[in-house]
Each structure stands twice: as structure tokens, then as C-alpha cells.
Structure 1
């Protein structure tokens, strides 16, 4: 009898894992779609759609990288100017 109970728990655990995977996928789909763009399933996406997605991601990454570089240069420049001004008065 003890063996049967442990197998029932294992089966229940497997069923719950399958449900959790499905709900995680649904949560991902729901979180990645908004009113402007529809979710594209990568399994069913055409090569053109994948190329468009790749191009869009590359453009977004370049814009983010550009902002980071500008911010870094601005901060370093500001620190150098402040140090130069403080050095004159000390």
C-alpha cells in the first residue's frame, strides 16, 4: 500500500508541472503582447518576420548603447570639469 501512495504523488506532481509550463507560456505571451504589436510565435513565424524582429531588436540595442555612451561621456566630462575648477581654487 505504501508504494501506491508514493506513485500517486509522483503522478500528481507530473500533472502539476505540465500545468505550470502551460501557464508560464501563457503568461509570457500575455506579457509580450500589447495593443500596438501582436505576439509572433517563433515556431510559426516566417523567415521574413524573424528577420524583421531581428532588425528591430538590433536597432533598439544600438539606440540603448548610444544613450549609454553619451551618458558615460557626459558624466566623465562633468567630473573632469569639476576637478579642474576645484584644482584652480585649491
Structure 2
């Protein structure tokens, strides 16, 4: 019976931590800026800024996709070579 009470306290503590973390995160996001980039409020961003962000994300996604394709192709080639070598010895 004593173990149940301590678990209830742990669960309550976790719930409170989640609540506090969300409110801190919202405050952090709304006031963030650093020395390198100026904070841009998404509600006040101009269409030009949004187009620039969209283009940058598209370029980054294309690079990531290319890397995934190259890695997948390399792994498939290695698997095929390994299976070919194993079949010669069996």
C-alpha cells in the first residue's frame, strides 16, 4: 500500500511539470531572438519572407532526399554484392 501513494505523487509531479513546461515554452517562443537572426513573428511575416523560408526549406529537403536515395542505393548494392559472394561459396 505504501508504494501506491508514492507513485501517485510521482504522477502528479509529472503532470505539473508538463503544464509548467508548456507555458515556459510558449513564453520562450514569443520572445526569442539571438545575435545572429532577428525574431520574425509568423503572424507579421511578409509574403517575401515566407517565400524565402519556403524556398530554403525546399532546397534543404531536396538535399536530404538525395542523401537518403544515395544511402539506400549504396546499401542495396552492398546487399546484392554480399548475396552474390555468399552464393558463390555455397
CA distance in structure 2 between the partners assigned to 1:69 and 1:52 by the alignment: 26
Give 1:75's aligned residue: 75
Q: How many residues align?
A: 71
CA distance in structure 1 between the partners assigned to 2:72 and 2:35 by the alignment: 34
Deviation, 1:26, is 2.9
CA distance in structure 2 between the partners assigned to 1:35 and 1:82 by the alignment: 51
Change (3 A) 1:35 1:63: farther
Provide the TM-score with structure 2 as the length reference. 0.64
Unaligned runs of 5+ in 1: 1-18
Give 2:60's aligned residue: 60
Deviation, 1:41, is 1.2
Give 1:28's aligned residue: 29
Provide the TM-score with structure 1 as the length reference. 0.64
Unaligned runs of 5+ in 2: 1-19
